[in-house]
Structure 1
């Protein structure tokens, strides 16, 4: 493994933490790396200005959008189910 590969992996791990909102512990466990080391990488990236310093506006906007889409989907599923029941009754 070259130093370029290691740096690429480090940047990838930091991006997962900063862009997905997942915790350092979750990402470290998934990637099989030490949690303290990952926390150090994230901290360094934030100090260097190469990673967002906390929940970004874009991430929050996407979370709100996902919540809205889930609500809409739930409503559409209920409407579909009602229409299915109506069709069954109409066919009788």
Structure 2
């Protein structure tokens, strides 16, 4: 993001600056650098969107939710199994 900002005034457009930075970094496509710049703008609050930190937290919470669902399914199966044993010693 900083590199694009530094060379922006040397080019006719932001896209041209992004292309120059992509070439300097050896990135295969300018679109990759453009996405990095946009995400960087979101992260610093200059653009609306989900920050990298928020995205990581959401991913972690979704994973945790799935793990809890699996644990609940196991516990439910176990309770059904043990409830079905009529001659289980007390």
Report TM bin, short chain: 0.3 to 0.5
TM-score normalised over the length of structure 1: 0.41
TM-score normalised over the length of structure 2: 0.42
Which one has more relative contact order, counting CA pairs under 8 Å at least 6 apart? Answer: 1
Q: Normalized per residue, which structure has more helix?
A: 1
